[in-house]
Amino acid sequence: MKEWWVQVGLLSVPLLAVYLHIPPPKLSPALLSWRSSGRYFTYKDQNIFYRDSTGAVGSSDIVVLLHGFPTSSYDWCKIWEGLTQRFHRVIALDFVGFGFSDKPRPHRYSIFEQASIVEGLVRHLGLHHQRINLLSHDYGDTVAQELLHRSLQPLTLWLLFFLSGMLTRLLSCRSELFFSFFPGLGQSSGPTRSLRRQSTGTCGQRCGPTTAIFILQYINQRKKHRDRWVGALMSTSVPLHLIYGPLDPVNPHPEFLQLYKKVLPMSTVSVLDDHISHYPQLEDPTGFLNAYLNFINSF
């Protein structure tokens, strides 16, 4: 009798082939509306989806939102309107491989590429000389950390997220981060203020299993580049703020908070209600938004 794993393999191949030829489900009216209100820009032949809303009159503040794995920009839908009442520009993108952006395969997906895409979007929008507030979650936290590292030389800048993924024994690095610095992504002229973290998750369009396999290499990248990304966090002079759901299985309570406060004692923290888990911006959008705005308005 053949080994069990051979049988499983023989069965899996045709099932996978069938799956890959199943058309994606129809988009809901909400997702169709989300897509129709967005745009695309091109980064190295890849079409990248983004939304850019003009909000508060009289404010010059800009916030860029970075989603997690395996999610998309739609994760921010419940707080989008609230953010537009505070910020002049609210911007979110779907990373390559996610949501409505291209999903090339095979492809060497990397945190470094995603960070360059964010920088490319900021340049595309003509905002590279302005202060950018960055709100990130999960996978987006690591992208934010790479952006932080790039902006460090010769100073130190911002952020918070990786901590959960990298420090709590690489607890899986899911959480959310907000960070702000001046004068622009990829630049390095002056720390400013803010950062915070939390979590999220779900894709606007199906990410096929093979695409997900390529993207999941980010787990190994986190381990390989731990010193680079955690070091950026620990070196920053930018104020940090963590928004945390105590029921988060990825960053268990109270161990995660204890480690976070030990590693980043300068950071402030907002702990949401006991029943809030890994997606606070979806589970408790009002509490999440209030915590975020209280932090941002404290400067």
DSSP state of 39: E
Do the Cβ atoms of 205 and 96 come closer than 8 Å? no
Greater model confidence, 134 or 33: 33
Q: Is the pLDDT of residue 182 over 80?
A: no
Helix (H, G, I), strand (E, B) or coil at 51: strand
Which residue would you say has higher pLDDT here, 67 or 106? 67
* Distance separating the N- and C-terminal Cα atoms of the chain: 69
| Mean pLDDT on 35-46 | 97
Chain centroid offset of residue 128 CA: 19
Token pair for 144: 């934010």
Q: Identify the weakest region by mean pLDDT among 12-21, 58-67, 210-219.
A: 12-21
Q: Which domains does the chain have, with CATH numbers?
A: 26-158+192-238 (3.40.50.1820)
Closest by CA to 295, choosing from 63, 60, 53, is: 63
C-alpha span between 158 and 117 (Å, rounded): 19
Which tokens sit at 209? 């299993």
Answer yes or no: is pLDDT of 35 > 50: yes
- Given a cut of 50, whether residue 178 has pLDDT beyond it is no
What pLDDT, on a 0 to 100 scale, did the predictor assign at position 210? Answer: 57
The pLDDT value given to residue 121: 97
Instruction: Give the residue, 35 or 278, on which the prediction is more confident.
Output: 35
Tens digits of residue pLDDT in 84-101: 999 999 999 999 999 999
Tell me what pLDDT residue 13 has.
63
CA 47 to CA 40: how far, in whole Å? 6
Half-sphere exposure of 79 (CA within 13 A, CB side): 29
Per-residue pLDDT, 250: 83
- Mean pLDDT to the nearest integer, 151-179: 39
Q: Which residue has the tokens 């009002």?
A: 286
Q: Is 209 helix (H, G, I), strand (E, B) or coil?
A: helix
Mean pLDDT computed over 270-289? 94
Mean pLDDT of 66-93: 95
